């Protein structure tokens, strides 16, 4: 949790609306720190009392986040917006997959993206170049997005009715799993350049996901990655987890991923 993971007291999230004409310029909205960014450590407190305060703070953080997430979810449902929370460790190919998806689906449905990173607007600029509107959230030393950050970014992005909103969370397999954003579905990405035992080591992430994508399968011939073991471990954590195997670079397996996206959009409440 954030009281022990290293998120700093001074962390402020920065909201960047990337200018399509010049992706290096941005509008900064320095809004109030999320409750999740505050730590509770009293000087001179015993280990027991400090632990109690941390546990209570964590409960308060999650309770407040859950309320905001519920508001986000109602807002999405009222506007028939399908929101995906896409999570992974760094370097699995989330942004590359989004670029390919945006280009291949060609605006059907309309795709908008909220990018979460500690620094830079590089990923939002890539998404804009691929053809989708994007807003970048920079969390500083924060290791995840929360529901309040998402609400502020959605206000800037203003997704239209019936659109697909993709939230690319900060690269981290721990804290993002704990924070409901109000999303319609959760996706966890792996790549074959990682260990196949990630679902065992980071079970919460896979336990609370709806979809697992195994990316970069074009590299399998060059790696010692056992994809069958990976799938078995993932189903140990979550027997209902649906799994797609694909390569965002070569396009192999993308058809099943696109078919799933289109099916979710068809079933949105009218």
Please write the tens of the pLDDT for every residue from 209-262.
999 999 999 999 999 999 999 999 999 999 999 999 999 999 999 999 999 999
Per-residue pLDDT reduced to its tens digit, 154-212? 999 999 999 999 999 999 999 999 999 999 999 999 999 999 999 999 999 999 999 99
Indicate the domain borders of the chain.
14-266
Which one has a higher pLDDT value, 20 or 79? Answer: 79
Residue 191 CB-half CA count within 13 A: 19
Distance CA 261, CA 174 (A): 25
pTM: 0.83
What separation, in Å, do the N-terminal and C-terminal C-alpha atoms of the chain show?
37
- Locate the DSSP E strands across the chain: 14-18, 26-30, 82-87, 111-117, 133-138, 164-168, 185-191, 211-215, 242-245
Q: Given this structure, which CATH class describes domain 14-266?
A: alpha beta
Is the pLDDT at 28 greater than 50, yes or no?
no
When pLDDT is cut at 50, 70 and 90, the band that residue 60 belongs to is: confident
The answer to whether 218 and 250 have CB atoms below 8 angstroms apart is yes
Distance CA 36, CA 225 (A): 36
């Amino acid at each position: 949790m954030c009281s022990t993971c290293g998120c700093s007291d001074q962390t402020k999230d920065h909201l960047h609306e990337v200018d399509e004409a010049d992706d290096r310029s941005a509008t900064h909205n320095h809004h109030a720190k999320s409750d999740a960014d505050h730590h509770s450590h009293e000087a001179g407190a015993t280990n027991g009392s400090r632990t109690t305060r941390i546990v209570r703070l964590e409960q308060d953080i999650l309770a407040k986040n859950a309320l905001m997430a519920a508001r986000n979810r109602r807002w999405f449902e009222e506007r028939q917006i399908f929101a995906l929370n896409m999570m992974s460790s760094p370097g699995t190919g989330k942004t590359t997959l989004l670029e390919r998806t945006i280009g291949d689906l060609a605006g059907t449905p309309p795709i908008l993206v909220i990018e979460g990173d500690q620094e830079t607007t590089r990923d939002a600029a890539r998404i804009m170049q691929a053809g989708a509107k994007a807003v970048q959230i920079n969390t500083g030393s924060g290791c995840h997005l929360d529901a309040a950050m998402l609400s502020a970014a959605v206000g800037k992005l203003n997704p239209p009715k019936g659109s697909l909103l993709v939230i690319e969370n900060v690269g981290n397999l721990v804290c993002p799993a704990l924070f409901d954003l109000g999303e319609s579905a959760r996706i966890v990405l792996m790549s074959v350049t990682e260990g196949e035992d990630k679902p065992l080591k980071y079970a919460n992430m896979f336990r609370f996901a709806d979809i697992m994508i195994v990316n970069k399968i074009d590299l399998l011939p060059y790696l010692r990655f056992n994809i069958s073991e990976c799938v078995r471990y993932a189903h140990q954590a979550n027997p209902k987890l649906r799994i797609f195997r694909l390569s965002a670079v070569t396009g192999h397996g993308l058809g099943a991923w696109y078919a799933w996206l289109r099916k979710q959009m068809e079933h949105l409440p009218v």
